[in-house]
Structure 1
């Protein structure tokens, strides 16, 4: 995963993206595909909603935490309660600072009591690993595997058919995973002997039925090729991070650095469901308990434009001419054919579903209505 683009890193699939004439751009310290020709973001978004899309998300961090009581250790760090899940299950959780701000949101994969795989965001992986390493007790080891592993995502109504076509398991509950051999994916002649397993996870970031695949970096290119052939046979295509962003915004899924951040807490971002409130210990516990008790001064809310225009992050939201917050994410929704946004709005404004506000789009007032999240139905379960 070396790079010639300054300090930017390359995915193990970089040459595949170049061969497909992908529009490449920097993301979290990596050069990643933003979109591909023949339709771009709109066509890729539609493919995921209607058929299937194949994403390279190898920029996501990967780290193993191993050793006696590794699960118990991580449970004292992150917000969610790992005792709610069993071996072979995954959990969305948050890494918070002591003041309750979110340093990262991530997925934790519970392999067994003495082993987890955690998947932080690319830009925050080093921070999360440094905090875990500093806090780890004797016997618990935190290992950065970012350069060793690749992560692919297959998302959409035909995602199970694509995995079936390449010999990978599909009968998994939501947020469950299964390890299968490289041989099961038909890759024995294309990768070196002794390669690790393919971890098939019923997870995703699009709101559609889908899977994420974690495997050795050297095995990723041939698997990508086979997945793409199977997807194209079912009306699907390769998809970049542009479509990933429009898809997640339609579902109201937060993006760290915009909807979650060191300045935005889980309570403000409506992620309290990912906090184990009854746990005796986790980073930021006291601050978050106090904020939940007192009530947050602002909350993440959906906005849908009623006229022509697209809200973008960082725009002022007004009610009756008075500023009441700002947008954190904003885009054009290909599904709704309208501009949508996530916004942090002052709770003191008392805004509710159907209320009309305006977003200051470069000096022009864009009328929007307050709308509960998600903007479109989820099909993940």
Structure 2
């Protein structure tokens, strides 16, 4: 993994994309998909890898994960996350239908606001976590994770009432994340809106090109996610990078995106949330409308919450040079197995190893535990994320 970082530190192994860099070259393996910015990434000397079936930039030449991470914390970074899914549920009662399927309560927000929510199965497992953009009673726009889009759309379409249309719009929009304390300056330079509360969005215009602008992100910094039309994504990217360069910003890859989100304790689906890790276990109950009469997985989740989950997601902060990685075992002082690391990386901000782990209910905040790092016991403290101060709002 160290070869993927310009600074020589071990790369963010939590990224599943690190495992299959050239799947498209294996006979019988589907070709990797590419965002509209693929050529731009090549021109910038990006190191590419497969993520969710897409060939994506991990880091860029002349920078590396640590430098890109620092840029986002101190200035602004621009990410291509166009691999994310896009879908729309439209027709009479669209919002009510989505509210009766996904976990969060759309009644908590109004048109022009976005909401983090979960798609669960009937056992309470997480099929995907996604963002719902509420346009109105008859129109909800969804942004799922890349590899889960087809399944989310399939589940919604299979239960939608006549008159409702569930449409995948995967390659209709690009997604560009502008994150960091200078993010608003970058958007202002393009004449795009920067006002609005956290998780609000609006349809905007840039040189005659429609762009959805949302006050959201996945880094813990103040930022925006822009959704231009697929065919306009290159033009918007070029303009954003030009503006970012003027305030000390740069393009950033998925490696820095992973270290940034881990410092915040934000879950990654497939690791910290999954069909076997429920919202209750992952401490994502805040994204569940517990008083709603209906949503997928409701009965199972209510039962688990009432009984108390057998394991809970905690943060781990190394007391030595160890770096936690997914699937490493967590041990108590007596050497008994008390859980497993789900995400882990080297924190560029704290300069120590950090991670997330599912731990037995017997473990409490402040406890000292051991993590089996390749046969060596690394000492870590159990903490409640975020690991660094957060200011996304």
Name the TM-score, length of structure 2 as normaliser. Answer: 0.92
1:229-254 C-alpha deviation (Å, 9 max, x unpaired): 11111111100000000000000000
Whole-angstrom CA distance in 2 between matches of 1:377 and 1:93: 24
Which of 346, 365, 374 does residue 360 from structure 2 map onto? 346
Aligned counterpart in structure 2 of residue 34 of structure 1, from 50, 53, 58: 58
- Alignment of 1:291 onto 2:282: no
For residues 198 and 229 of structure 1, what CA distance do their matches in structure 2 show? 18
Residue 275 of structure 2 corresponds to: 262
Structure 1: give runs of 5+ residues left out of the alignment. Answer: 189-194
Other-structure match for 1:102? 126
- What SS is found at the alignment partner of 2:227? strand
CA distance in 2, matches of 1:13, 1:38: 19
- The CA distance in 1 between the partners of 2:315 and 2:120, in whole Å, is 24
The within-5 A match list for 1:95-244 is 95-181=119-205, 185-186=206-207, 188=208, 197-244=210-257
Task: Give the 5 Å matches for 1:38-117.
Answer: 38-117=62-141
Partners of 2:320 and 2:223 in 1: how far apart? 33
Aligned-partner SS, 2:174: strand
Q: Is the partner of 2:101 in helix, strand or coil? A: coil
Encode CA deviations 1:207-259: one digit per residue, 9 max, x unaligned. 00000001211111011001001111111110000000000000000000000
Cα distance, 1:268 vs structure 2:
0.1
State the alpha-carbon separation in 2 of the partners of residues 235 and 160 from structure 1.
Answer: 13
Question: 1:24 Cα shift?
Answer: 0.5
Give the secondary structure class of the aligned counterpart of 2:387: coil
RMSD of Structure 2 on Structure 1 (CA): 1.1
Shift of 1:4: 7.5
- Cα deviation 1:288-342 (Å, max 9, x = unaligned): 0000000000000000001012110110000020000000000000001000010
1:39 Cα offset (Å): 2.2
**Matches of 2:124 and 2:187, distance apart in 1:** 39
Task: Tell me the distance in 1 between the aligned counterparts of 2:48 and 2:94.
Answer: 38
The 8 Å contact of residues 217 and 223 in structure 2, kept in 1 or not, is answered as: yes
In the TM superposition, what is the alpha-carbon distance from 1:353 to its structure 2 partner?
2.2
Q: Give the Cα–Cα distance (whole angstroms) in 2 for the partners of residues 147 and 4 of structure 1.
A: 20
Q: In the alignment, what sits opposite 2:351?
A: 337
Instruction: Tell me how far apart the structure 2 counterparts of residues 68 and 215 of structure 1 sit (CA, whole Å).
Output: 26
For 1:99, what is the secondary structure of its paired residue?
coil
Q: Tell whether the 8 Å contact from 2:228 to 2:236 is kept in structure 1 after alignment.
A: no
Please name the residue that 1:245 is paired with.
Answer: 258
* Alignment partner, residue 38 of structure 2: 14
Query: Structure 2 unaligned runs (5+)?
Result: 1-22
Count of aligned positions:
366
Closer/same/farther in 2, CA of residues 43 and 97 from structure 1, 3 Å limit: same
Q: Deviations over 1:245-295 (max 9, x none)?
A: 000000000000000000000000000000000000000000000000000
- Deviant stretches of 4+, over 3 Å: 3-6
In 2, the alpha carbon distance for the partners of 1:159 and 1:379 equals 13
**Is 2:268 the partner of 1:273?**
no
Deviations 1:111-170 (A, max 9, x none): 111111100000111110000010110111011110111000000000000000011000
Residues 1:369 and 2:369 aligned together = no
